Amino acid sequence: MQPAFEQMGLALSEAVFVVVDLETTGGAPGAHAITEIGAVRVRGGQVDSDMSTLVNPGAVIPAQITVLTGITNAMVAGAPVVTEALERFLAWARLDEPGTVLVAHNARFDVGHLTAAARTLGLDWPEPVVLDTLALARRAWSRTDVPNHTLATLASFVGSPTRPTHRALDDARATVDVLHAALEALAPLGVTHVEDLATATDPVPPRRRAKSRLAQGLPSTPGVYEFLSATGEVLYVGSAVDLRRRVRSYFTAAEKRSRVAQMLDTTVDVRVIPTPTQIEARVRELRLIAELDPPVNRRSRSPQRRPWLRLAAGAEPHLASTTRLPTEEVGCAVGPFSSRSALLDAQRAAESVLRLRSWDGHGAADPAPQGDQRVALARRALSGECDVVAVPLLERVASLAAAERFEEAGLWTTRLRSFLAASRRAEAARPLLACPHLVAARRREGGGWELVVVRWGRLAGSAVTPPGADPRPAVEALRATAQVVGRPDRVGETTSTEETLLLAEWVLETGARIVEVGAADGGALGEVYAALTWPVGAAARHQRVLRAEG
């Protein structure tokens, strides 16, 4: 697969540029259009080699094209046919080699003809990285510098010793000089690597683009990055699979967020924390946002304020919200909720069933469950048996829809969805919040394993193993060095529920393997395994309702 610009990370001085120019019959791209190929191979600012050949297009060259290029039908009569000439060019250019960039002035024309001819003739086209010096020159020099951006004008402007003549090799040589001059003009703006060329023509303010130098020297590993102001304030925190590539992307047109763009204008430095795994990077990001409260971050702020819905004891048991849920009650609560309105919707959904066990579609209801029966139903609904609430409400929605009371049906569907979504989050968090020690593993894409240790819902450590290595010694070392975490009195006390949910997604979803679990001192291992189970009537059964969430 041809690598994308951002994956190459190759200094321009080490890249190979194959600069090509074509002359054609003037017709549409295809096998019978090319009359001449000229190309120059350049590395480190020096010409390695060049090639040039006339091409027999198998068609008559129009008179006006002959006047423009000087190429006559007689000149191409004995020239190689298009198939032979194109095969020779591809063998010479070696476009499939890593770090090779195909360059042309108005590349859509030249590369379009080459790819169309290859496709028509059944030749393999290597899909190289393509750079257009026309777009590059427009970025490097405005109309105040040059009257236009034709190759002839630019060659004269940069002082190229080669004058474009509408002959392929001459024009390719002139394009080389324009390429080098444009790259030199753009270097102060941070265009120093092949990956920068993908965004070199983007409309990014020069001052911001020049700050891409802040990414120089950063590791290409997972980790957390912090953008810092002149006073050392942390303006923004993020995580990445590849720190260097992600930080560089902020200084290109790929960054569309206005608040972030304003932040970049005041950024003077970037601080990074490399991590062995991406999941550890994401967890550290959550923790730093909660700790530092950076002004530009919008998500993951104040996670401890997110409420849960639980059964409150008293003379009249009822459902109530709390942001300080005792750990021992997590098995009989749903949440956390992202907003107060979502919690109220879920509460109304649950309470309507606890009070009205059935619905006949005409407003009448059976007597509400009383006393111990109501408490028992509430406990079942809040501990994972979502069918207690979902089945009656779905019947209600169906009855309302059948009676064409669609607004009411939509209202109850929204309330049910809030309840199910919160139940699903609780189902994901409960196993890890109740587990003193768990080691899980996932295979890495390039071989080896990613390992994580989770204790009481908190990431205690992570590691990676090299391809082919026995992971058991790494598991033992990780177990011994992982952070010691005590069971918290309340949910979110030692870690945010957002972190626990993030870990649950990694640990408990398809592709992960649970390596080992451990019980607390004096605890039964069976209780830990029981926490890793879900009721038959869990929220996951109602994907049709949940898919419409949000």
Q: What is the CATH number of the domain that holds 282?
A: 3.40.1440.10
Does 262 fall in a domain? yes
Alpha helical stretches, state H, 293-339: none
Asked if residue 37 and residue 132 are part of one domain, the reply reads yes
Same domain, 149 and 163: yes
Could you report the per-residue pLDDT of 238-272, keeping only the tens digit for each?
999 999 889 988 887 656 677 888 888 889 999 99
413 and 478 assigned to the same domain: no
From 285, 300, 315, the end of a domain falls on: 300
Is 536 inside a domain boundary? no
Same domain, 358 and 410: yes
Q: What are the tens digits of pLDDT across the range 71-111?
A: 999 999 999 999 999 999 999 999 999 889 999 999 999 99
Task: Give residue-wise pLDDT tens across range 126-181.
Answer: 989 899 999 899 888 988 899 999 999 999 999 999 999 999 999 999 999 999 99
Q: Tell me how far apart the alpha carbons of residues 494 and 471 are, in angstroms, rounded to a whole number.
A: 29
Q: Is the distance from CB of 215 to CB of 248 less than 8 angstroms?
A: yes
User: Domain check: are 27 and 174 in the same one?
Assistant: yes
- Tell me: do 380 and 478 sit in the same domain: no
3-state helix, strand, coil in the chain (%, to 5): 45, 20, 35
Q: Is residue 108 part of a domain?
A: yes
Q: How many structural domains is the chain composed of?
A: 4
> Does residue 147 lie within any of the structural domains?
yes
Q: How many CB atoms lie within 10 A of CB 27?
A: 13
Q: What is the CATH number of the domain that holds 116?
A: 3.30.420.10
Q: Please report, for residues 331, 347, 399, 426, 502, the alpha-carbon distance to residue 429 in angstroms, rounded to integers and kept in the order given.
A: 10, 20, 34, 5, 9
- Residue 444 CA to residue 448 CA, distance in Å, equals 5
Q: What is the pTM of this model?
A: 0.66
Residues 446 and 505 in one domain: yes
Instruction: Check whether residue 235 and residue 114 sit in a common domain.
Output: no
> Helices 151-158 & 168-186, crossing angle to 10 degrees?
60
Determine the Cα–Cα distance for residues 383 and 377; give it in Å rounded to an integer: 10
Q: Is residue 320 located within the same domain as residue 344?
A: yes
Q: Which regions in the chain score pLDDT beneath 50?
A: 1-8, 356-366, 550
Q: DSSP letters of 234-287?
A: EEEEEEESSHHHHHHHTTSTT---HHHHHHHHH--EEEEEE-SSHHHHHHHHHH
| Last residue in a domain, options 300, 335, 366 | 300
User: Is residue 336 reached through a cis peptide bond, with omega within 30 degrees of 0 on the bond before it?
Assistant: yes
49 forms beta bridges with: 41
The answer to whether residues 47 and 174 belong to one domain is yes
Is the residue at 259 inside a domain?
Answer: yes
Specify if 310 maps to a domain: yes
Q: What does the pLDDT read at residue 187?
A: 80
366-377 pLDDT, tens digit each: 455 555 777 888
On whether both 422 and 309 belong to a single domain, the answer is yes
Distance of CA 526 to the CA centre of its chain: 39
Report pLDDT for 473. 94
Domain ranges, residue 217:
206-300
3-class SS of residue 91: helix
In a shared domain, residues 412 and 472: no
- Of 197, 223, 253, the one marking the end of a domain is 197
For residue 344, tell me if it sits in a domain.
yes
What does the pLDDT read at residue 8? 45
